[in-house]
Amino acid sequence: LIYNNMTRKNYVKSDDSLVEDFKAYRVNNDRNRTAYNSFKSALWTLTVAIYLLVSFIYGIWLYSWIIFIIAGAIEEIVKGIMMLRSGKNV
């Protein structure tokens, strides 16, 4: 609980100014961007591992590069879902 509270920024608006709105937007946007970047790192690490594993085991180097196209599509689908859920740009 302590770690979670210290790592997540909670912003409380002090007044209704444009600067305060921007600060609140930035805190919320940073959370979404951090989650998306973590997903992206894991996705591409797994993609390379799967590519190498499939290529070495089955010896299909000629066709296994298609795994990268599939991973790119998965990344864009998840990005779209995150944008729809938050209503903001990632």
Q: What are phi and psi of 9, to 5 degrees?
A: -85, 130
Closest CA to 61 of 72, 70, 71, 52: 52
Question: Residue 26 pLDDT more than 90?
Answer: no
Total count of residues recorded for the chain: 90
Q: State pLDDT tens for residues 38-83.
A: 999 999 999 999 999 999 999 999 999 999 999 999 999 999 998 8
Q: What are phi and psi of 20, to 5 degrees?
A: -65, -40
DSSP SS3 for 28: helix
Give this prediction's pTM. 0.66
